[in-house]
Amino acid sequence: MTASVITANVSKQYGGVSAVKDVSFELNAGETIALVGHNGAGKTTLIKLMLGLIRPTSGSVTMLGGDPARGDFHVRQSVGYLPESVSFHMALTGRETLAFYARLKRVEFSNAELLFKRVGLAAEAVDRPVRTYSKGMRQRLGLAQALLGTPRVLLLDEPTSGLDPALRHNFYDLISELRADGATVLLSSHALTELENRADRVIIIDRGVKIADGTLDELRHIASLPTRVIIRLSDMEASPQWSGEWCRQAGGAWEVSVDAADKIDLLKRMTSEPSLLESLTLAEPTLDELYAHFLGRQAAQ
């Protein structure tokens, strides 16, 4: 895979405070990466370093083969950014706002209508002043400006904040399209449940340190957290005959937690007598659970 962004042993200090400490990773073309961590963990600092808005105290950042802090306009023109809190001139309309950013970025504004449609900003709203916009509408306008010029790298900080469920779904469809076209998409978010099946990779940051980096399957393998097995028996009055601490759930289902090393053996024994089972569901560790695990492991060190 081709790396669009490379951070190599990057650290950033503000006086005696270390916001980022010796962080290294690569973000590849055609990849969606979730950057997760609590408030103050260093996520926004990393994004500012990648954008070239601040310089690292040590280490290096490479964006599309160049140094983003050197002001290479070609690099900056190929990057889209949505900050956590969008702020626009309240007297300008949505169309005037997007035209302003298009001029700053020196990109064509001819696809404005398509952009407004892609982010779900209604046609009757684009010529109204931004001061009349709801938070969700301003967020959609912010996303539209981030997409100007078909960027090769998108850095999105809490991108679905203020969006209703339908628009969140549309947003992730859009991200899938961009990924398929070869764009690198970094999503910094607290909405871990949303990201779980939408990110190719997860990077977890805690107190400025990268504590985990990998696909969900890789992180599950490293964490070795138990899998929940949920079954319904054909005989509702019966109890599970397999070993383990089975718990009866509301509605008549039974649940047990099983270590990763024992999971396959249990499934073989259960499915050897399929007539006993009405249904069987596996619940692998969620991103929320993995996040809590890695934070706890880091705190214990």
Q: Same structural domain for residues 124 and 256? A: no
Highest mean pLDDT among 33-37, 75-79, 106-110: 33-37
CATH of the domain at 122: 3.40.50.300
Residue 53 lies in a domain: yes
- The reported pLDDT for the residue numbered 210 is 97
Residue 46 lies in a domain: yes
Q: Same structural domain for residues 209 and 270? A: no
Q: Same structural domain for residues 151 and 278? A: no
Q: Do the Cβ atoms of 204 and 47 come closer than 8 Å? A: no
CB within 8 A of 142, min separation 6: which ones?
Answer: 82, 83, 86, 88
CA 207 – CA 18 distance, rounded (Å): 8
Q: Do the Cβ atoms of 248 and 254 come closer than 8 Å? A: yes
Residue 71 lies in a domain: yes
- Residue 120: band (very low, low, confident or very high) from pLDDT cuts 50, 70, 90: confident
User: Which alpha helices (DSSP H) does the chain contain, by range?
Assistant: 43-51, 73-77, 94-105, 112-118, 135-146, 165-180, 192-195, 216-223, 260-271, 287-300
Q: Same structural domain for residues 185 and 215? A: yes
Does the structure show a pLDDT above 90 at 26? yes
- Residue 98: band (very low, low, confident or very high) from pLDDT cuts 50, 70, 90: very high
The pTM for the full model equals 0.89
Percentage of the chain lying above the pLDDT 70 cut: 100
Domain that holds residue 270: 226-284
Q: Do the Cβ atoms of 183 and 33 come closer than 8 Å? A: no
Q: Same structural domain for residues 47 and 106? A: yes
pLDDT in tens, 252-286: 999 999 998 899 999 999 999 899 999 999 999 99
- Residue 19: band (very low, low, confident or very high) from pLDDT cuts 50, 70, 90: very high
Residue 204 lies in a domain: yes
Residue 291 lies in a domain: no
Q: Same structural domain for residues 95 and 154? A: yes
Question: Mean pLDDT over all residues of the chain?
Answer: 91
Number of domains in the chain: 2
Q: Same structural domain for residues 12 and 143? A: yes
Q: Same structural domain for residues 135 and 242? A: no
- The reported pLDDT for the residue numbered 170 is 84
Residue 299 lies in a domain: no
- Residue 118: band (very low, low, confident or very high) from pLDDT cuts 50, 70, 90: confident
Q: Same structural domain for residues 10 and 148? A: yes
Residue 30 lies in a domain: yes
pLDDT in tens, 145-185: 999 988 999 999 988 887 788 888 888 888 899 899 999 99
CA 7 – CA 1 distance, rounded (Å): 16
- The reported pLDDT for the residue numbered 84 is 83
- The reported pLDDT for the residue numbered 62 is 94
Instruction: Provide the 8-state DSSP code for 108.
Output: -
Q: Same structural domain for residues 266 and 146? A: no
- The reported pLDDT for the residue numbered 59 is 96
pLDDT in tens, 192-244: 888 888 899 999 999 999 999 999 999 999 999 999 999 999 998 899 989 88
Q: Same structural domain for residues 214 and 248? A: no
More confident residue, 90 or 167: 90
Of 220, 248, 271, at which residue does a domain stop? Answer: 220
- The reported pLDDT for the residue numbered 275 is 92
Q: Same structural domain for residues 168 and 269? A: no
Instruction: Provide the 8-state DSSP code for 129.
Output: B
Residue 293 lies in a domain: no
